A = this chain, B = another copy of it.
Amino acid sequence: MNKTIYDVAREAGVSMATVSRVLNGTAVVKEETKAKVQAAIEKLGYRPNAVARGLASKRTKSIGVILPDVSDLFHAEVLRGIEDIATMYQYHIILTNSDAREDREVDLVGTMWEKQVDGLIFISEKITPKIVKTFESAQLPVVLCATEDPEHRIPSVAIDNKQAGTDATRYFLNLGVDKIVFLGGPTSQPVTMERLAGYEKALADAGHEFNPAYVIHARDSHYQAGYDVSNEFLNSGLKADAVVATSDELVLGFLNAVRDRGGKAPDDVMLLSFENTRLTTIVRPELTTIAQPTYDLGAVSMRLLTKLLNDEAIEEYTVRLPHSILERTSTKR
């Protein structure tokens, strides 16, 4: 097996250049010879070797995706968005997990270069100067997804996290709720800090006092971390009327900590989180969330990357996707 373009050329009685032309549509070929070539391709069951193609053309039609962890529901949904648009534009995805470790990330950008990907979609918790420098030296088109470079040197697609934090907090304020807990990931996580800034702003705007005891940080954004830190909080004897949490799993940690104490939501505490993964409608009470357009975050990132790759006109390099509040039972009394 393993037919080559040369076999097709001979079978069709033309040169390999002509076969290449009908394959790629890079030049006009007479209908008649085109038909002969296609017949030969069909007959031999020929398929072009993408590796040879990549070497000769210097474009591999594959793009690298570096993200912290695919098994995280949020990332998995974003990835699906990336993949769908990639497929639409005939790109393939080379996927790697970084566990959000900077050294891994730097390393992975290098191996992505080795693989000669045409571009990169990068999802991380934090964009460090080292990473930015790595992007530059790799000379790869990069789009940050659900992540922003604080100095906006790299194209990105995300939501306005500070505004979202404000909106979430204001939502409770408008309900007349008083003691609002902010439950986030570690302070090293820019996303958490931006949303926290929004929370503080909403409080300040409303003339509310800011009480640092109501800001709690979990060690990561997963369920167990949320559960643990919520228990600590509740053990301290503080009373919360509502929670604004930066991830769906985190808020479920709080919910279950409350339940362990015989409490209920929304009766004893109202809950709002940020991701809008499918968890929000699977659990009871269904969770009110700031709806991040998860799938779109991936899809739009990939679309932006294709524009970069084709030198299409680009209006905005720092794309902010709209967010909204989806009210569900976790905040209905």
A residues apposed to B, CB below 8 Å: 1, 45, 47-52, 54-55, 60, 62, 69-73, 76-77, 79-80, 83-84, 87, 92-97, 110-111, 113-116, 137, 139, 223, 249, 252, 256, 259, 278-279, 281-284, 295
In whole angstroms, how far apart are the Cα atoms of A139 and B77 in the complex? Answer: 32
Chain B residue at minimum C-beta to C-beta distance from A84: B97
Report 11 cross-chain contacts, Cβ distance below 8 Å, ordered by A residue.
A47-B113, A49-B55, A51-B51, A51-B60, A52-B55, A76-B76, A83-B95, A83-B96, A84-B97, A92-B115, A93-B94
Oligomer copy total: 2
In whole angstroms, how far apart are the Cα atoms of A70 and B70 in the complex? Answer: 8
In contact, A114 and B80 (Cβ under 8 angstroms): no
Contact among B49, B137, B281 for A114, CB-based, below 8 A = B49
In the complex, the 3 A-B pairs of residues with the closest C-beta atoms, listed nearest first: A71-B80, A76-B76, A50-B114
Interface of A is mostly: helix
CB distance from A117 to the nearest CB of B (A): 10
In contact, B83 and A76 (Cβ under 8 angstroms): no
In contact, A95 and B95 (Cβ under 8 angstroms): yes
In whole angstroms, how far apart are the Cα atoms of A96 and B47 in the complex? Answer: 19
For A84, the chain B residues whose CB sits under 8 A away are 97
In contact, B87 and A79 (Cβ under 8 angstroms): no
In contact, B70 and A80 (Cβ under 8 angstroms): yes
In whole angstroms, how far apart are the Cα atoms of A92 and B64 in the complex? Answer: 10
In contact, B62 and A70 (Cβ under 8 angstroms): no
For A62, the chain B residues whose CB sits under 8 A away are 94, 115
For A116, the chain B residues whose CB sits under 8 A away are 49-51
For A97, the chain B residues whose CB sits under 8 A away are 80, 83-84, 87
In whole angstroms, how far apart are the Cα atoms of A282 and B115 in the complex? Answer: 39
In whole angstroms, how far apart are the Cα atoms of A188 and B60 in the complex? Answer: 38
In contact, B279 and A259 (Cβ under 8 angstroms): no
In contact, A50 and B115 (Cβ under 8 angstroms): yes
CB distance from A218 to the nearest CB of B (A): 14
CB distance from A229 to the nearest CB of B (A): 16
CB distance from A181 to the nearest CB of B (A): 19
CB distance from A141 to the nearest CB of B (A): 15
Given contacts A70-B70, A96-B92, contact A282 B249 (CB under 8 A): yes
For A114, the chain B residues whose CB sits under 8 A away are 47-50
In contact, B92 and A94 (Cβ under 8 angstroms): yes
In whole angstroms, how far apart are the Cα atoms of A51 and B84 in the complex? Answer: 24
For A284, the chain B residues whose CB sits under 8 A away are 256, 259
CB distance from A281 to the nearest CB of B (A): 7
In whole angstroms, how far apart are the Cα atoms of A73 and B279 in the complex? Answer: 10
